[in-house]
């Protein structure tokens, strides 16, 4: 799930200047309770080069000013976790800590100064490797430090080793070797959002809202989405074993899946009758806009005069594709979204690219708690422009921009470098997208924690949203004589009524009709 604003080649950082800060002989300083590491025999080798490069990228490009005490504390703590607790004593002293192992001690204190903290981290690194070199390699320690630093930022900023980075870059092409499921993180649980039709996951009976607990016997508690995705993907005809917990039955089942090439169809189209077309976009991959244009061609043949655009359960994807999708429904040059980085002048605007007949037709957009990132950009732009009526649930609230950096060791880093704002200035991360017609799910049978909580910091909307319960919608359509079955989607039916029969000329007309329908529903 990525919005790539730019791709940068980053050269390795030189360590020569560190010599300017060091004046002590080889070993550790012992003049006080806190010891500062000085130059050592391996100082000018490649020890901690990767950590240093990651740190510089964060310092220069992260969306928020770096808190060096927080960053280094997280890095050191993760290093310490690599050592068995019974073999290392960690005690607090003054405003720092003392490490003790094998009769040797090392005391340190972290500050808010980057250079001082880097020297301190090198001291911890050298001490741990010296005392536990038979079981703990330098590579393991550095990897732990990088992980701790990155984990202290946000869930979307990650370091990827060369293999993970290569797989991540392949994802944007719209084709990969995998098992055919869309996953997301819900209350720290790796949850299935959608299963691709006729994929290995579909044939194995995996369902939305299933929770993956183990992959090939490894517990994945605390694992990030990209880490799980990397484990699920692989060469075609290879197998992966996953433990799947189903909340509705409280049963965990071990399932073996055989990977295969997965071609991602992100756009589906259906004619609803009454000159209304239904378009669902499941994610924003490199192929999405091309597939959308094919759907429009069929819609024109069907004589479609109104569109229901479904972005529910869409976790996002490429920014460029979200801009193209929104452009089909707006006038050329209209603002779609803008990004704001750490610096005031680090701002970029994205405007509509096209001027097509679809911007003159009634439009309803459906979102839910799992609509995130690029789907929120589309929904937010169409809401703010006054073009589309937004229905469903409060969106997820993932409005941060991740930039991909290619590192000197062939690895990569996805770093949050700015935030997305809708044309009216809504901070998507803080507020998400609030529908004008809120549908409360009360008949889905889903567990209470299956959806992320609503955003806490919501500015009062200029117009109070209409709230309708799903059960009320069902009763309404039943009394209208409609036969409901497993394939019935009452929100789609409601959206169709709000924008069509007859086609509503403007969003304000559609909203007025939706209010009228809601009043009827509440009186049933």
User: By the 8 A CB rule, do 270 and 305 touch?
Assistant: no
Tokens of 262: 């997965």
Residue that has been written with the tokens 């117009």 in this structure: 463
Structural domains of the chain ordered from first start: 4-153 (no CATH), 175-263 (2.30.42.10), 267-402+413-523 (3.90.226.10)
- Over residues 397-419, the mean pLDDT reads 92
pLDDT for 515 equals: 83
Q: Give the whole-angstrom CA distance, residue 492 versus residue 469.
A: 14
Q: Looking at 324, 383, 387, 398, which residue is catalytic?
A: 398
73 versus 95: the higher-pLDDT residue is: 73
Q: Residue 194's pLDDT band (boundaries 50, 70, 90)?
A: confident
Tokens of 237: 């005809």
Tokens of 309: 């655009």
Q: Give the whole-angstrom CA distance, residue 346 versus residue 352.
A: 21
Active site residue 263: no
Active site residue 398: yes
DSSP structure class, residue 13: P
Three-class SS of residue 252? strand
Of 244, 370, 389, residue with least CA distance to 311: 370
pLDDT tens, residue by residue, 352-379? 999 888 999 999 999 999 999 999 999 9
In this predicted structure, the answer to whether residue 13 has a pLDDT above a threshold of 50 is: no
Give whole-number Cα distances, 101 to 93, 159, 456, 467, in Å.
16, 30, 46, 62
Q: Which range, of 110-114, 260-264, 299-303, averages the lowest pLDDT?
A: 260-264
Active site residue 384: yes
pLDDT for 329 equals: 96
Q: Looking at 157, 373, 400, 451, which residue is catalytic?
A: 373
In this predicted structure, the answer to whether residue 156 has a pLDDT above a threshold of 80 is: yes
In this predicted structure, the answer to whether residue 524 has a pLDDT above a threshold of 90 is: no
Q: Residue 459's pLDDT band (boundaries 50, 70, 90)?
A: low
Residue that has been written with the tokens 């330098």 in this structure: 138
Of 399, 389, 422, residue with least CA distance to 316: 399
Tally of CB atoms within 10 A around 163: 11
Quickly list DSSP for 449-506.
GGSPPPPS--PPPSSPPEEEEHHHHHHHHHHTTPPP-TT--HHHHHHHHHHTTTTPSS
Q: Residue 25's pLDDT band (boundaries 50, 70, 90)?
A: very low
pLDDT tens, residue by residue, 505-514? 788 888 888 8
Q: Give the whole-angstrom CA distance, residue 398 versus residue 392.
A: 17
Q: Which range, of 179-188, 444-453, 477-486, averages the lowest pLDDT?
A: 444-453
Three-class SS of residue 417? strand
Q: Across all residues in the chain, what is the average pLDDT?
A: 84
pLDDT for 504 equals: 82
pLDDT tens, residue by residue, 68-89? 999 999 999 999 999 988 899 9
Q: Looking at 171, 243, 384, 493, which residue is catalytic?
A: 384
In this predicted structure, the answer to whether residue 444 has a pLDDT above a threshold of 70 is: no
pLDDT for 460 equals: 55
Share of residues in the chain with pLDDT > 90 (%): 59
């Amino acid at each position: 799930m990525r919005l790539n604003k730019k791709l940068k080649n980053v050269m390795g950082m030189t360590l020569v200047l560190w010599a300017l800060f060091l004046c002590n002989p080889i070993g550790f300083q012992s003049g006080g309770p806190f010891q500062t590491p000085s130059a050592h025999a391996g100082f000018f080798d490649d020890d901690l080069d990767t950590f240093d490069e990651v740190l510089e990228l964060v310092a220069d490009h992260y969306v928020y000013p770096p808190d060096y005490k927080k960053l280094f504390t997280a890095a050191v703590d993760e290093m310490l976790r690599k050592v068995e607790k019974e073999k290392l004593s960690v005690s607090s002293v003054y405003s720092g800590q003392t490490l003790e192992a094998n009769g040797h001690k090392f005391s340190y204190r972290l500050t808010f100064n980057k250079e001082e903290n880097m020297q301190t981290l090198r001291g911890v690194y050298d001490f741990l490797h010296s005392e536990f070199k038979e079981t703990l390699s330098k590579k393991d320690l550095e990897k732990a430090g990088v992980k701790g630093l990155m984990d202290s930022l946000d869930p979307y900023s990650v370091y990827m080793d060369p293999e993970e980075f290569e797989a991540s870059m392949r994802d944007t092409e719209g084709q990969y070797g995998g098992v055919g499921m869309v996953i997301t993180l819900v209350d720290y649980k790796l949850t299935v959002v959608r299963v691709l039709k006729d994929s290995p996951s579909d044939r194995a009976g995996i369902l939305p809202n299933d929770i993956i607990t183990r992959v090939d016997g490894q517990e994945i508690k605390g694992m990030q989405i990209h880490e799980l995705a990397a484990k699920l993907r692989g060469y075609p005809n290879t197998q992966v074993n996953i433990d799947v917990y189903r909340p509705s039955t409280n049963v965990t089942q071990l399932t073996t899946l055989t990977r295969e090439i997965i071609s991602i169809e992100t756009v589906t189209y259906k004619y609803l009758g009454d000159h209304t077309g239904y378009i669902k976009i499941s994610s924003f991959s490199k192929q999405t806009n091309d597939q959308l244009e094919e759907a429009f061609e069929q819609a024109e043949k069907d004589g479609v005069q109104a569109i229901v655009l479904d972005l529910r359960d869409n976790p996002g994807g490429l920014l460029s594709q979200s801009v193209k999708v929104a452009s089909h429904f707006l006038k050329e040059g209209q603002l779609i979204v803008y990004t704001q980085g750490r610096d005031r002048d680090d701002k970029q605007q994205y405007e509509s690219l096209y001027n097509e007949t679809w911007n003159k037709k009634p439009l309803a957009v459906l979102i839910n708690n799992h609509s995130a990132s690029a789907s929120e950009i589309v929904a937010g732009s169409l809401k703010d422009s006054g073009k589309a009526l937004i229905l469903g649930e409060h969106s997820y609230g993932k409005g941060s921009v991740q930039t991909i950096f290619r590192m000197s060791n062939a690895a990569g880093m996805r770093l949050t470098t700015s935030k997305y704002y809708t044309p009216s200035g809504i901070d998507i991360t803080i507020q998400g997208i609030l529908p004008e017609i809120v549908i409360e799910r009360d008949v889905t049978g889903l567990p209470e924690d299956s959806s992320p909580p609503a955003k806490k910091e919501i500015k009062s909307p200029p117009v109070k949203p209409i709230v309708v319960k799903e059960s009320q919608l069902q009763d309404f359509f039943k009394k209208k004589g409609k036969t409901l079955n497993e394939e019935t989607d009452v929100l789609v039916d409601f959206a169709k009524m709000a924008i069509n029969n007859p086609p509503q000329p403007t969003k304000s007309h559609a909203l007025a009709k939706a209010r009228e329908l809601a009043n009827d529903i509440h009186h049933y």
